[in-house]
Amino acid sequence: MGALTGRRALVCGASRGIGRAIASALGGAGASVCLLARDRDALERVAGELGGRAVPLVADLDDPDRAAAAVEAEIAARGAFHVLVNNTGGPPAGFLLEAPAVEFERGFRRHVLAAQMLTRTVLPGMIEDGYGRIVNVVSTSVRQPIPGLGVSNTIRGAMASWAKTLADEVAPHGITVNNVLPGATRTGRLEALIVAWARRDDVPADEVEERMRAEIPMGRFGEPREVAAAVLFLASPDAGYITGVSLPVDGGRIRCI
Ligand SMILES: NC(=O)c1ccc[n+]([C@@H]2O[C@H](COP(=O)([O-])OP(=O)(O)OC[C@H]3O[C@@H](n4cnc5c(N)ncnc54)[C@H](OP(=O)(O)O)[C@@H]3O)[C@@H](O)[C@H]2O)c1
């Protein structure tokens, strides 16, 4: 018996990177996992790796209404979700003052509105079954904005405020809402950022990596499974009295106490 045996988890952005590692960790703890993302082939590969514990759900979080309708249909077919992991692709790199309005709109829709719509969709089942854990994968930029990630920094702040507000509203049901804040974590997203910053500064990618590592007391990037371990804990019964917090998983990079 794992900590999540008998529980159903919806993991967004589960086809790659951090979301994929989270799906694997929750599945390893006994949960049945529904894997949401856009790339059907990748989702089917991940589902295959998790064995009978996982099903793919193809949906685009850029269209929160349709994504929520797909989740609603999944609940009607297989039952309520007890764990929701809000996680999706990060906004593109770039300076705030150069960002077009459409990037802010897309980021808000993909992160905040999608999380809001999915939460409203899964909440009745959590309340009815008496178990609910909502975990959002956000970023250390909630605490300390990252230069060159203007839209991302803005959207992460909105996401953190949304989550704290939600935590208060669902607390009477015993449902928790928490954020995990990854630092530099070895995924496709990190590789893309390194390439973008190297191009921006006209330096080799190795130099950008070195610069980033120098800001991390542990001197290395994180692994997706290290972020997933924090999500698993927050999704577990043992974390039932922890709500409204933001937990960095960043090798010590954030400088505030
Ligand atoms: N890696 C880091 O260093 C780091 C640090 C701080 C914060 N973060 C944040 O943590 C989150 C996950 O990061 P990651 O590194 O795992 O990113 P990643 O490797 O780019 O993976 C993103 C995941 O989200 C899915 N996705 C993207 N757009 C989507 C959409 N419109 N609808 C549904 N699914 C979508 C992708 O799948 P499909 O393409 O199949 O849809 C993929 O599964 C991101 O928000 C990222 O910005 C990452």
Name the residue of 38, 85, 180, 191 to mutate for ligand 1: max ligand atoms within 8 A of Cβ. 38
Ligand 1 is surrounded, with C-beta below 6 A, by: 13-19, 37-39, 42, 60-62, 87-90, 110, 137, 139, 182, 184-185, 187-190
Closest ligand 1 atom number to CA of residue 42: 40
Task: Mention every residue, 6+ apart, whose C-beta is less than 8 A from residue 62.
Answer: 106, 109, 110, 114
Q: How far apart are the first and last CA of the chain?
A: 37
- Domain map of the chain by residue range? 8-183+223-240, 185-221
Strands of the sheet with 246-249, listed across from one edge = 54-58, 32-37, 8-12, 83-86, 133-137, 176-182, 246-249
* pLDDT value of residue 26: 98
Q: CA geometry: angle at 206 spanning 202 and 208, to 5°?
A: 60
* pLDDT value of residue 51: 87
Residue with tokens 């669902």, as numbered in its chain: 170
pLDDT in tens, the chain (257 residues): 899 999 999 999 999 999 999 999 999 999 999 999 999 999 999 999 998 889 999 999 999 999 999 999 999 999 999 999 999 999 999 999 999 999 999 999 999 999 999 999 999 999 999 999 999 999 999 999 999 999 999 999 999 999 999 999 999 999 999 999 999 999 999 999 999 999 999 999 999 999 999 999 999 999 999 999 999 999 999 999 999 999 999 999 999 88
Distance 126 CA to ligand 1 centre (A): 25
CATH superfamily, region 8-183+223-240: NAD(P)-binding Rossmann-like Domain (3.40.50.720)
Closest ligand 1 atom number to CA of residue 192: 20
Instruction: Name the token pair of 164.
Output: 């704290």
Distance 128 CA to ligand 1 centre (A): 31
Distance 172 CA to ligand 1 centre (A): 31
Instruction: Report which residue type is found at 24.
Output: S
Distance 1 CA to ligand 1 centre (A): 30
Distance 95 CA to ligand 1 centre (A): 20
User: Residue of the nearest CA to atom 25 in ligand 1?
Assistant: 13
